Amino acid sequence: MVAERQMLPMVTVIMPVRNEQKAIRLSLSSVLAQDYPADRLEVLVADGMSDDGTRAIVGEIARRDPRVRLVDNQARIMAVGFNSALTFARGEVIVLLGGHSEIAVDFVRESVALLKEHPEAWCVGGPISHVAHSRFGKAVAVAMSHRLGVGNASHHFANYEGYAEGAPFPTLWRWVFERAGTLDEQLVRNQDDEFYYRIRQAGGKVYISPRIRYTYFVRERMRQLFRQYFQYGFWRIPVMKKHQRPTTLRQVIPSLFYLACICLLLIGVWFRQPLVALALPALYGGALVAVGLSVLPRVGLQVACRVPLAIATLHAGYALGLMYGVWASFFQPRAWDTGGQMATISR
């Protein structure tokens, strides 16, 4: 038994966080409750100088459990925090977690096992289980796990197993960072997607399995959801600039759809053809309503009637963010996103 424990790799869980007072205790407790041997696990919380009590909570837990260490992230950027914590990590295996999630008790054990079972995979993870408490939040959870909401992003589908573009909370071999590089510290958002792209370019693969279980707490308000997806869209442009291409086709579809709607609207008005002007918006609205009706028996009327709004919000946020990023790349090389972070678009 002792020999088997010694054969297990040392695992470092890195949690870049900022102002996660409401969720950090639950998230961190789920990590410390793992059924993986305690002496083969450490947790580095890279805090972006939180001012809401997060640091006090982490400090309190660290005093009780020596496996936990608080690492300062003065830059307040997730990629910087992760890279800083990585320099202190002792693990052969690295797990990247957020402070807005809760993992199953066997998360680390199953992740390590999956890495060993799939030597071709440089990175493994599990499909997202979206969780919310409010009615709109539950509608967001539906939107973020439906194909109309997120396209072919396979890691959003609960029962998916196989290769994927990326993994939301990945487990990786330490040597992956030597081959693919660390996270790009110039990216406030989409730094993980850009990193997975470099993994694929370097010959690695990402494997997803529902054996790796966790829950992700979605944004509960429409304004929060819009801001989140606006930032996702906006920060796609620096990634595209860096690699001279979209990392996936799915990333540009919402903006192309909105541009098509605008073009048809102008054509329809110019030629006095209302059917042409309203064709795409009508089809889109019909599709949104159909999704709401399809989930009605499962989620109930109060949530189902909010699902079309949730899907439209994440589409609009992403599309407008991407279009703003394109505009900024021509006319405003240094631009700010909705979270107050500045991006240098021309790079």
Calpha distance 59→73 (Å, rounded): 15
The pLDDT tens digits for 144-203 are 888 887 766 666 667 788 898 888 889 999 999 999 999 998 888 888 888 998 999 999
Calpha distance 61→264 (Å, rounded): 57
Do residues 160 and 213 make contact, with C-beta atoms less than 8 angstroms apart?
A: no
Q: How many CA atoms lie within 13 A of 197 on its CB side?
A: 19
Domain boundaries, the chain: 2-224, 249-332
Tokens representing 166 are 């990326």
pLDDT at 251: 64
Calpha distance 289→161 (Å, rounded): 29
- CA separation (Å) from 42 to 7, 32, 35? 16, 9, 13
- Per the DSSP assignment, residues forming a β-bridge with 206 are 123
CATH number of 2-224: 3.90.550.10
Do residues 245 and 201 make contact, with C-beta atoms less than 8 angstroms apart?
A: no
Tell me the whole-structure pTM to 2 decimals.
0.82
pLDDT at 248: 62
pLDDT at 152: 63
Average pLDDT, the chain: 85
pLDDT at 329: 77
Dihedral angle, C-alpha 256, 258, 195, 71, nearest 10 °: 170
pLDDT at 124: 95
Do residues 200 and 290 make contact, with C-beta atoms less than 8 angstroms apart?
A: no
DSSP string, 215-274: EEE---SHHHHHHHHHHHHHTHHHHHHHHTS-SSGGGGHHHHHHHHHHHHHHHHHHTT-H
Spatial CA neighbour of 12 closest among 170, 164, 187, 154:
170
Q: List phi, psi (to 5°) of 72.
A: -75, 135
Q: Which amino acid is at 287?
A: A
pLDDT at 250: 65
DSSP state of 8: S
**Mean per-residue pLDDT pooled into runs of 10, the chain (347 residues):** 68 94 90 95 94 91 95 91 94 91 93 94 88 90 83 69 87 94 87 89 92 86 90 84 68 72 76 73 86 91 93 88 81 57 49
pLDDT at 346: 46
pLDDT at 305: 93
